[in-house]
Amino acid sequence: MTIYFAEWNADYEKYMVNTLKSEYDVVLFNKLMKHFRNINLKLDRNNLPRHWFIKFHQFIKLRQLKYDDILLCSGFGVSGFIDLIKDVKCHRVLVLRDTIDVLNDSMKNKKKWLQQNEDYISKITPYFDKIYSFDFNDCKKYKFIYLNQFLPFTYSEMKKLRAEQDNKSNIIKTCFFIGEYWDDRAKVLNRIAPILHVNGYQTDFNLINYKATNTESLFHSSDYYKLGNKISYLDNIEKVKHSDVILEIGQIGQTGVTLRAIEAVLLNKRLITTNKSIKEYDFYSPEQIFILDENNHHQIKKFLESPFVPISLDKLYKYSSNAMLETITDAFD
């Protein structure tokens, strides 16, 4: 059984697949959309025949797949090549790391891979043998299989990262945040930064503009955060390593845990988060994780001054890339 990661093209996804190769039979399968996506969408929207176009690309790109192989697709990328893989003869698995609401908005209004009258659930999900999601609400609503959020690190890498942090202390206390610009996020940053400053912490707050058509003039500027550009995942990790507190401001309605939260716990950082559902996770500890709401900012000082007790690394195995892959492959044994 070979596991093909179909168009997992983010830098941290490529890193993950390459590290998994040392322990598992995995392939980074990232040429599926080349010469296919744009032409296929154009033919579809002009009601032109696509059957032989699709068959040709299937022969060229998918002929190596065997019946017992797993084609592992990510929720974000698959919309661009669903017509190519929806009837391929192998195990088809979809992993959703965004909510359905976010995917619908992204595919219709940003990527334009779905038309306004189309829906992610009806257009994409019927063609998969198994669908996994890290969001509790989506699992309940759409009958998905719950999958723990997973880091792009194997468990052996996680051990090394934890060992490095156990022997390290930062000279300057810093709180780090990075995320897409939303007005609500800007308000939280403006509210929490002065509290952190009073308590002796510098703030490294970064709001990112992912919309190339916008300019900085469309955003509210502040002395408490920078308007910047996206940085690589590994650069993000370096920022986390050299910080003492990590701030997470999640999407409204999201009930799954994020990579940023697990990174903070793995690297022995205090976490301030707006995600109330984090209490449901086995790594939750009030000594390490502060759940922020509109009324409890005054309690941050007490949290920062409380004794720090790191979470046992054993509890984090289930959030490793090993655990993710083993969960998926075990389902087809």
**DSSP secondary structure letter of residue 307:** P
User: Measured between alpha carbons, how far is 3 from 167 in angstroms, rounded to an integer?
Assistant: 37
Regarding whether 215 and 93 lie in a shared domain, the answer is no
Does residue 215 belong to any structural domain of this protein?
yes
Q: Which domain holds residue 52?
A: 3-147
Regarding whether 173 and 66 lie in a shared domain, the answer is no
User: Measured between alpha carbons, how far is 139 from 146 in angstroms, rounded to an integer?
Assistant: 6
Q: Following DSSP, what letter does each residue of 283-298 receive, concatenated?
A: T--TTTEEE--TT-GG
In the numeric block, which tokens belong to residue 257?
């845990």
Regarding whether 123 and 94 lie in a shared domain, the answer is yes
CATH number at residue 271: 3.40.50.2000
Q: Is 178 exposed, middle or buried (0-12, 13-18, 19+ CB in 10 A)?
A: buried
Regarding whether 311 and 166 lie in a shared domain, the answer is yes
Work out how many domains the chain is built from and give that number. 2
pTM for the whole thing? Answer: 0.86
Specify whether the CB–CB gap between 24 and 245 falls below 8 A. Answer: no
Q: What is the pLDDT of residues 76-91, one digit of tens each?
A: 889 999 999 999 999 9
* Per-residue model confidence (pLDDT) at position 111: 87
Q: What is the pLDDT of residues 230-268, one digit of tens each?
A: 889 999 999 999 999 999 998 776 677 889 999 999 999
Q: Following DSSP, what letter does each residue of 199-236 receive, concatenated?
A: TT-EEEEEEE---TT--GGGSPP-TT-EEE----HHHH
Mapped onto helix, strand or coil, the DSSP state of residue 70 is strand
User: Measured between alpha carbons, how far is 207 from 212 in angstroms, rounded to an integer?
Assistant: 14
